[in-house]
Amino acid sequence: MGEEKSKDRHHDHDRYSKETSSHDKHKQAYADMNDLNNAASAFFRIPVFFSHQNLFTLGPSQPPFSQEQQFIIRMFKEIKKVLLFPRTLPNTDQYPNTTLENIRTMINSSYGTAAVLLKPTRSTSQGEPYSPFLQIEPTMAFQYGLPLLLVKQDTIAAGGVWGDAGPLAPFTPLTWFSSSGVTVDEFFDSVQWKEALQNWAGQVRSGYFIQTGPEFKYTCND
């Protein structure tokens, strides 16, 4: 009797081990498939550089988030909606070089730049009203010839590429008039934003196809 029970327990253990192993393999297979699909979907998104302030300089580290933090998150989603892949330092990309070298690498490997300047909750450690990289990054992108999409909150004063001293062509930032009560949703639902986004995305795609297309064409469409 004891020998039969021992055999049954051994059989049950083997069956459990096989079922567990099969379940783990299926689980891993689905995880691998999801990783592959996620990677493949990213390949179909043209990479662009999304320049913005650290979220924690714009509000609390825990929800509920400030309007400024919600603005960054919504703009990130809006860029993804037009099938572009917004890249940021260090959220999506990081390199073992100096900050300026990392920015140059990002710009050289992107096909457009979107930048947003919002009112931070405090000054930088050097006492500046906002990070100087918000001036440097769009300027470097312009020097490289990338299409630019600039958005600025009306509650923060800034010159240079952000044009408080007057329009500085070709830098023409859109303005989020938060002080007038314009909400995040109202800004991104506006015709002005949608037109600017589609126009910029069109320029990005045009530049992408020009740069990645063949140097010589062997067919004629005329």
| 21: confidence class by pLDDT, cuts 50, 70, 90 | low
**Ramachandran class of 14: left when φ > 0, alpha when ψ lies in -120 to 50, beta otherwise:** alpha
Q: Which of 193, 142, 208 is nearest to 170 (CA)?
A: 142
Choose between 11 and 69: higher pLDDT: 69
pLDDT in tens, 153-211: 999 988 888 875 455 555 689 999 999 999 999 999 999 999 999 999 999 999 999 88
Residue 222: predicted pLDDT: 59
Q: Is the pLDDT of residue 5 over 60?
A: no
Q: Give 61-129 as a 3 state SS string.
A: CCCCCCHHHHHHHHHHHHHHHCCEEEECCCCCCCCCCCHHHHHHHHHHCCCCEEEEECCCCCCCCCCCC
pLDDT in tens, 71-130: 999 999 999 999 899 988 755 445 566 788 888 999 999 999 999 999 998 888 787 888
Residue 63: predicted pLDDT: 87
Q: What backbone phi and psi angles, to 5 degrees, belong to 128?
A: -80, 150
Question: In which residue are the tokens 């062509």 written?
Answer: 169
Treating both helix axes as pointing N-terminal to C-terminal, what angle do 191-212 and 67-81 enclose, rounded to 10 degrees? 50
Look over the chain and give the mean of its residue pLDDT values, rounded to a whole number.
82
